[in-house]
Structure 1
Amino acid sequence: MADASIGTPEQLRDPNYMPPLATAVPLGIQHVLAMFVSNVTPAIIISGAAGFGFGSDAGAQGFPDMTYLIQMSMLFAGIATLFQTIGLGPVGARLPIVQGTSFAFIPVMIPLVAGKGVEALPALFGGVLIGGLFHAALGLVIGKIRFALPPLVTGLVVTMIGLALVKVGIQYAAGGVPAIDTPEYGSLLNWSAALVVILVTLALKFFARGMLSVSAVVFGILAGYLYALVVGMVTMDGIAASWSRAGAFAVPVPFKYGIEISAAAVIGFCLMAVISAIETVGDVSGITKGGAGREATDREIRGATYADGIGSGVAGVFGGLPNTSFSQNVGLIAITGVMSRHVVTIGALFLILCGLVPKVGAVIRTIPIEVLGGGVIVMFGMVVAAGISMLSDVTWNRRNMVIFAVALSVGLGLQLDPKAVQYLPDTARILMTSGLLPAAVIAIVLNLVLPSELADEATEEVSGGMAGKRDA
């Protein structure tokens, strides 16, 4: 509940209202804390998948590259947020929308970079750039394509994103992918650090209030970090070394890794941009309903979509990953009752400041992979739960069950056994083994072509008799 002393109810529902700075600054930082871990996690995952992240043989040599990716995640989350809150012509909803690095693209990015080191980054950032421009163009038609993405499709896609990532969380908690073949992998010490994070996160989420509850994952990881210091998983010398190796201030470098146009990257990012755009529409609607008690306008939805895409495209030029609106911050607005876009602008400025200071990224890099694993287990599990929540709005008739069954079976199956399509050309193989894209395409196509009359038929054939039979 909002404190009436910071403004009248009408003012608190007004995006243009500026609360007193003594209130606005803490609220802005609270928005950053709520999304901070989620925002930098994709950069850490992609670094590890490419082979220059935590614990990899190239880890020491890759220190500057991983730190840079983390730095860009913070910087361009802040810049993209400013696109939303301040706006630039038609770009931006001018609402308190927090942008951050998207989880949705991770299943597409991992096959693109897997084991290829920094050599894979030009194609990756080429995909981010082109996909971002395509995403921005969707603002022109976003209202017209929503019919093709009902909860059956969007719920399936979000669930698949989570399912593609939960394996990463478990591997991190056990010691990280490079350690799989070592005796330390899966040790009690590794799991104890992850469990500290999970337990503290759950305790704060359900038994604390205010900032502690909203930022439970952040404080859970801090608790895990302290535990890791106590048990020797990380040392003060190691932290000091990372701190000293990183510069005090650095500006982003355009085309630092170069740009390469890869068909697999461009197709993958453009297809996922459609899903990300629909997610943003939902977040904009959630903000206006939860914060102002009204529906989002067409201009706000178009502006938010433009900002989504342009924020991602600009990030790709400087070595950042694609951005999207962050749903956890939508919930935070409903909790605080403060609709001010200027509060989120303050948070964006704080993110930009962090992104210009490489030492922040260097310290984040010292978090043991097992500690991060505890946090991402919670986060990725919540992605799955969000998808299932969306699927609860689906009418589970025979038609929808068949669509879901086929899309899930093919998508999840290809994730579990990538070698099943090893003889496909490289572009097709990368797109198929993401699992997410084939599942999304199958669900969208079947939903459009299967006759709606099937929805009236019985479900016994696909439900194992559990649905019961209708009267003749």
Structure 2
Amino acid sequence: MAVDSSIGTPEQLRDPNYTPALHKAVPLGIQHVLAMFVSNVTPAIIVAGAAGFGFGSEAGAQGFPDMKYMIQMSMLFAGIATLFQTIGFGPVGARLPIVQGTSFAFIPIMIPLVAGKGVEALPMLFTGVFVGGLFHATLGTVIGKIRFALPPLVTGLVVTMIGLALVKVGIQYAAGGVPAMNTPEYGSLLNWSAALVVIFVTLGLKFFARGLLSVSAVAVGIVAGYLFALATGMVTFGGIETSWDRAAVLEVPLPFKYGFDFSLAAVVGFCLMAFVSAVETVGDVSGITKGGAGREATDKEIAGATYADGLGTAIAGAFGALPNTSFSQNVGLIAMTGVMSRHVVTIGAIFLILCGLVPKVGAVISTIPIEVLGGGVIVMFGMVVAAGISMLSDVNWNRRNMVIFAIALSVGLGLQLEPKAVQYLPESVQILMTSGLLPAALIAIVLNLILPEELASEATEEVSGGLSGHGLGSLGRD
């Protein structure tokens, strides 16, 4: 959507406290929801599938209410966490148009924690989310002081690793689930056709449409894929009718519905990933103030955003939702529309909360065939990898940085591909190591802090086969 001068004057559009006329503010707020909606509910579906009560699993019928509940909570607490950012209270909240949503970054940590354990894994999972969120909130007091330990080399590596850990999930979903389901249709042309409809519609809208259609390309692609699946008989409503009939008009969530189960691996994993999520939020806050107001973010705004990030995650975990973080696609939307109003995003947050309180919304989302979802996540997870590579383009690829990247990537990706390599370690340590993400991040952070800068001025040929770095942006700039 191009900048519309009728929304307000240039000065008003750059003011977070400005409220456009309601008939313009409501569509702008819903536009923010459409830009993040699919990405927000996807992690809950992926985690449910990994645990064994998602699409097509034997426990699917019994676990459907739990997956539906997780989808509901994803919407509800994304909205609540967004209100923490836009309205705020005390030191909590940046008072900026920051949209919060369920984080993809934690999925590589969550999958090993819940893999094959069914609903029984949820108390441990949500306890980890709760404690990790509290730890995340404390980072607001020191976030400005620890940014030095997380340069683009580290953050770019971590984001790239997140995407690489997830691309396999996208392919499996597009093919029809996971191979362990042993379904004869796995990898069939029909399954792939549904996924490809989503991909092609998404790409077409992203590059050839404008305004709302371009911004919500993935969501519209999912709808197109759903209609294709409906026409070809791929949509099943088993268990949905009963759940729909029994669902209340509104459902208020219960704190610690699944109980409280402390797991060292879960708590450590979520706390370590909190550093990555906090830095991601810092980047998003800076992107919003630069793109929407043409200024740098203040220390107060960055600290407030981090407090809200962590508190939103902790409360989400207490009620059965996954970790929250700021959503980068909405940062781009603010730069595109030129509307900096936090009250516009508040309207979108209220819409999310209303959806999260209506169980029937979660029931409808749960009918989306996994193949259709696969087409969407292939695009989304590929964009995560691309975002990581874009961050790495800001790295000066000298020998020192190449060695750090090479070792961290090799160990992290290697352990992820071959988890039995650490089978004799304690179970909690195994879970953390085989995520791939945490060992890679830890190695990169430590090596970046201890390796001498003198290596930066030395030649790179002996480690790169002659393909030496060419300064800043050598991977992605003209």
TM interval, short-chain normalised: over 0.9
CA contact (8 A) 2:56 2:181 kept: no
Q: Residue deviations 1:33-82, cap 9 Å, x none?
A: 00000000000000000011111100000111000000000000000000
Q: Residue deviations 1:319-368, cap 9 Å, x none?
A: 11110000000000001110000000000000000000011001000000
C-alpha distance in 1, partners of 2:209/2:398?
41
C-alpha distance in 2, partners of 1:259/1:157?
30
Paired position in structure 2 for 1:95: 96
C-alpha distance in 2, partners of 1:45/1:393?
32
CA contact (8 A) 1:77 1:99 kept: yes
CA contact (8 A) 1:238 1:366 kept: no
C-alpha distance in 2, partners of 1:53/1:236?
14
CA contact (8 A) 2:36 2:329 kept: yes
C-alpha distance in 2, partners of 1:289/1:225?
38
Q: How far off is 1:237 after superposition?
A: 8.0
C-alpha distance in 2, partners of 1:447/1:401?
11
In 2 relative to 1, CA 236–263 (structure 1 residues): closer, same or farther, beyond 3 Å?
closer
CA contact (8 A) 1:55 1:178 kept: no
Q: Residue deviations 1:290-325, cap 9 Å, x none?
A: 000010011000000000000000011111111000
Root mean square deviation, CA, Å: 1.3
The 5 A counterparts of 1:418-437 are: 418-437=419-438
Q: Residue deviations 1:206-257, cap 9 Å, x none?
A: 0000010000000000000000011000157876555335332101111100
C-alpha distance in 1, partners of 2:180/2:412?
28
Q: Residue deviations 1:140-177, cap 9 Å, x none?
A: 00000000000000000000000000000000000001
Paired position in structure 2 for 1:417: 418
CA contact (8 A) 1:98 1:344 kept: yes
Paired position in structure 2 for 1:192: 193
C-alpha distance in 1, partners of 2:179/2:138?
40
Helix, strand or coil: the match of 2:259? coil
C-alpha distance in 1, partners of 2:468/2:147?
30
The 5 A counterparts of 1:345-424 are: 345-424=346-425
CA contact (8 A) 2:93 2:301 kept: yes
CA contact (8 A) 1:411 1:438 kept: yes
CA contact (8 A) 2:44 2:322 kept: yes
Paired position in structure 2 for 1:26: 27
Paired position in structure 2 for 1:137: 138
Paired position in structure 1 for 2:330: 329
CA contact (8 A) 1:175 1:186 kept: yes
Q: Residue deviations 1:62-117, cap 9 Å, x none?
A: 11100000000000000000000000111000000000000000000111000001
Q: How far off is 1:461 after superposition?
A: 1.2
- Tell me which amino acid in the other structure corresponds to 1:130: V
- Tell me which amino acid in the other structure corresponds to 2:275: V
Q: How far off is 1:179 after superposition?
A: 5.7
- Tell me which amino acid in the other structure corresponds to 1:406: I
Paired position in structure 2 for 1:264: 265
CA contact (8 A) 1:256 1:318 kept: yes
Q: How far off is 1:466 after superposition?
A: 2.9
Paired position in structure 1 for 2:166: 165
Paired position in structure 1 for 2:121: 120
- Tell me which amino acid in the other structure corresponds to 1:33: L
In 2 relative to 1, CA 237–125 (structure 1 residues): closer, same or farther, beyond 3 Å?
closer
Q: How far off is 1:259 after superposition?
A: 1.3
CA contact (8 A) 1:151 1:391 kept: yes
In 2 relative to 1, CA 446–178 (structure 1 residues): closer, same or farther, beyond 3 Å?
same
1:444 aligns with 2:445: yes
C-alpha distance in 2, partners of 1:442/1:194?
36
Helix, strand or coil: the match of 1:200? helix
TM-score, normalized by length of structure 2? 0.96
In 2 relative to 1, CA 285–335 (structure 1 residues): closer, same or farther, beyond 3 Å?
same
Paired position in structure 2 for 1:5: 6
C-alpha distance in 2, partners of 1:358/1:185?
30
CA contact (8 A) 2:172 2:178 kept: yes
1:77 aligns with 2:78: yes
The gaps in structure 2 that reach 5 residues or longer are: 471-478
Paired position in structure 2 for 1:232: 233
CA contact (8 A) 2:100 2:324 kept: yes
- Tell me which amino acid in the other structure corresponds to 1:201: T
C-alpha distance in 2, partners of 1:17/1:49?
44
In 2 relative to 1, CA 265–155 (structure 1 residues): closer, same or farther, beyond 3 Å?
same
The 5 A counterparts of 1:195-274 are: 195-234=196-235, 240=241, 243-274=244-275
C-alpha distance in 2, partners of 1:155/1:6?
37
The gaps in structure 1 that reach 5 residues or longer are: none
C-alpha distance in 1, partners of 2:359/2:61?
16
CA contact (8 A) 2:206 2:215 kept: yes
Q: How far off is 1:2 after superposition?
A: 1.7
TM-score, normalized by length of structure 1? 0.98
C-alpha distance in 1, partners of 2:126/2:236?
34
Q: How far off is 1:5 after superposition?
A: 1.0
CA contact (8 A) 1:194 1:375 kept: yes
Q: Which moved more, 1:193-202 or 1:118-127?
A: 118-127
Helix, strand or coil: the match of 1:184? coil
Helix, strand or coil: the match of 2:62? coil
Helix, strand or coil: the match of 1:62? helix
Q: How far off is 1:398 after superposition?
A: 0.5
- Tell me which amino acid in the other structure corresponds to 2:468: A
CA contact (8 A) 2:172 2:179 kept: no
CA contact (8 A) 1:264 1:427 kept: yes
Matched length: 469
Paired position in structure 1 for 2:278: 277
Q: How far off is 1:183 after superposition?
A: 2.0
C-alpha distance in 2, partners of 1:269/1:468?
34
Paired position in structure 1 for 2:474: none
C-alpha distance in 1, partners of 2:51/2:298?
41
